[in-house]
A and B are shown apart, each in its own frame.
Chain A
């Protein structure tokens, strides 16, 4: 398109671009400066994996679409359109200065790509606007005028682009060109001041996202250290890391984290989007510093099951969950701890286990570990002290499997709690004591197997943050899968009716294991089906984050999953975690309608052991 802009027009345009870009840069810089005040470094390890993650999550929009299919797809259309429009926009302003980047024919050729995309963007943005302003799902929160403005702008940009390609009269074309330009400039002005900053920060945030889930900073407590050391350690507890600050500014306020939060769904007050992320935004901007954790909502923090569903689902790469940060401040600095947890901590300190018991009949019955044995069988307090007496049978079923496969194992005489509840509830001092005790007990160990994913996570990944680990930890379903693959055990399909599996969050999201239990279940169940929320997107049973020991609770966090299981019409529910096992046993019975037979709750080990083909090896 040949156009002649006057000198005044060019000056106005140059001014407009300078002001907009200047203010854009200033606003972004203002936020990035706060990011750099955060402690720790932005991680760049496993560079290739990070790039691949950006391709999948940014360019392919994997999580955006997976989380909410239709709105996600509409958003993808807008995003892909933006990518295509990058060149068009540069060319658009270049034309204004009389120096088009593309020749007439290239422009024409490129428009064959851009025109369909602009129509798709228009469809996408109108659908999203309809959702936001007409159907209004709860997770989006209050009506945001900026969002309306942005939707309007994008629609105008598309329409003016299309009009520009239709062969308008020179005067009309010029007016149209100016409308398009002004809208871009105002849009650019709005972006850094709103959640639309995610356009800039989300790709960075996805790149820098930590690989571990959950990823909280360690708390190194040295009781022999000086007062100054203690003070600086405690002062650090209220400060965000660089990753965490970047999270806060990247948040796009979509509320997927609210939708998946078990505490929120169970009627609790916890709203991860606001409590863990957005509540920190204004304090960060106001103070220009990262010392903001002191003002976070404490009550909400105690409700969290630390299940990481919020973090898993976040499309802009946020590590959402902050209960660790909240709780450790309450415990270590304030000394404000709910009474039931004080009792729990005292038990852990006095007896080394959650219940304050001294004897474990189960541990007494099992062989003791000696270094000539292959595995340390780590029991965990749940099994050791029979937090659900039915689970004892599951442990015995697992040892039966090991025995059939000729695998040697033994339990530690002096096993203490892995420290999971203390760690998750913020009592890092008690956690330190337990960790140090257990590291001594495990000095000889090479391989550890446990039925408790909470213990598995702590013994390897969480301890590994503090100290070097010389043993490997496997969840028992992983050992079972291995034994099946090696042909050391054989199973046949049993008679458990319709069988389904509840993915424990510590196993699926935190240990990234969703296949091993399924291998075992598929081999030993005739009719296996999946629950709606499965794999890494599972729904927490409600016991995580120390909530097993929480006495009275207003919410129904512990019932939401059980209700889904009842509705699924399953005859047998398989779990891979003792806490899930206990919660489901407690939850299913009262929820099962009269006349329906009771849903059987079994561990993977139960299902496999009951259907073992015991061949006599020659």
Chain B
């Protein structure tokens, strides 16, 4: 089984997020980056499938500038066999269709049996990339996957529905799955893994330009301020004015 795992480097939950002076994006130099949470689970799932079948290959693929090689190395240290780095400046890139096109281009020659991606990224949370890639490469797709059973050229996946319901779906291969956090227990890179990762291949590819249909216009911290309004008059007048203010100005009634 040949499995591709898409990993994304995202700002850590505790990281400061100062906005860049051009207001197009955050100041990346001040950001502490980590591997996207659900991608970590996707990687673990791929590694476990490979280990259970004691054959196959796990290839980790990431898109972004040079800094993302850190999460690629982390994935290789955990046990991925090799990596593809789609080198692109992602500042302000928020178009999932464009992102998915880059991935589809890089993946189509490889003929993967499975493509795993995290359910959604912790920064933009579009939750579309994995599904669009599946569509572009003519694969079966399933989102919100909570368990995977492989065997006989098919797979069965458990999907999370609303209100505590689940659904088992059988898919033909190849398939693109988006993985929900918590379906396994991700490992920690062992010392041997960290040392071994240095020798693993990271293929850097430069994608063809794709026209983005959407981009960031401006980002800013929501503005908030305090206002005090004095309401005066007789009790009846005050009540009337208060209700008017509640109803028409701050619209809470």
Contacts and interface: CB of A to CB of B under 8 A. Distances in A.
Interface of A: 221, 223, 227, 230, 234, 331-337, 339, 342, 345-347, 350-351, 355-359, 429
Given A339-B185, A347-B14, 17 more contacts: A227-B195, A230-B191, A230-B192, A234-B191, A333-B191, A333-B192, A335-B78, A335-B187, A335-B193, A342-B186, A345-B188, A350-B34, A351-B32, A358-B14, A358-B15, A358-B16, A429-B191
Contact of A351 (B14, B190, B194, B195): B14
Q: Which 4 A-B pairs have the closest CB atoms?
A: A356-B14, A335-B190, A337-B188, A332-B191
Given A347-B14, A351-B32, A335 B189 contact: yes
A496 B32 CA distance: 45
Nearest to B78: A335
Contacts of A429: 191, 194
Interface in B170-201: 185-195
B12 interface: yes
Contact of A223 (B32, B34, B185, B194): B194
A345 B188 CA distance: 10
A230 B188 contact: no
A249 B16 CA distance: 54
20 contacts: A221-B191, A230-B191, A333-B190, A333-B191, A335-B190, A336-B187, A337-B187, A342-B186, A347-B14, A350-B32, A350-B33, A351-B14, A356-B13, A356-B14, A356-B15, A357-B14, A358-B16, A358-B32, A359-B16, A429-B194
Contacts of B187: 335-337
B188 A335 contact: yes
Contacts of B12: 346, 350, 356
B32 A356 contact: yes
B190 A332 contact: yes
A357 B16 CA distance: 8
B42 to A, nearest CB: 16
Interface in B5-57: 12-16, 32-34
Contacts of A359: 16
B192 A234 contact: yes
A346 B34 contact: yes
Contacts of B14: 347, 351, 355-358
Interface residues of B, number: 20
A336 B187 CA distance: 6
Contacts of A358: 14-16, 32
Nearest to B77: A335
Q: Is the interface of B mostly helix, strand, loop or mixed?
A: loop
B3 to A, nearest CB: 19
B32 A331 contact: no
Nearest to B14: A356
Nearest to A359: B16
Contacts of A351: 14, 32
A351 B16 CA distance: 11
Contacts of A345: 188
A358 to B, nearest CB: 5
Contacts of B185: 339
Interface centre among B32, B34, B186, B191, by most chain A C-beta atoms within 10 angstroms, is: B191
B195 to A, nearest CB: 6
B178 to A, nearest CB: 21
Nearest to A229: B195
Contacts of A346: 12, 34
A373 B195 CA distance: 42
Contacts of A357: 14
Interface string B56-100: 000000000000000000000010000000000000000000000
Nearest to B196: A227
Nearest to A225: B195
B183 to A, nearest CB: 13
A227 B197 CA distance: 12
Nearest to A341: B188
Contacts of B190: 331-335
A16 B188 CA distance: 59
A335 B32 CA distance: 23
Nearest to B79: A335
A227 B193 CA distance: 11
B252 to A, nearest CB: 33
Contacts of B34: 346, 350
A356 B16 CA distance: 10
Contacts of B194: 223, 429
Contacts of A342: 186, 188
A429 B77 CA distance: 14
B184 to A, nearest CB: 11
A336 B32 contact: no
A350 B194 CA distance: 16
A219 to B, nearest CB: 9
A346 B191 CA distance: 15
A185 to B, nearest CB: 53
Contacts of B188: 331, 335-337, 342, 345
Contacts of A355: 14
Nearest to B34: A346
Contacts of B186: 339, 342
Nearest to A346: B34
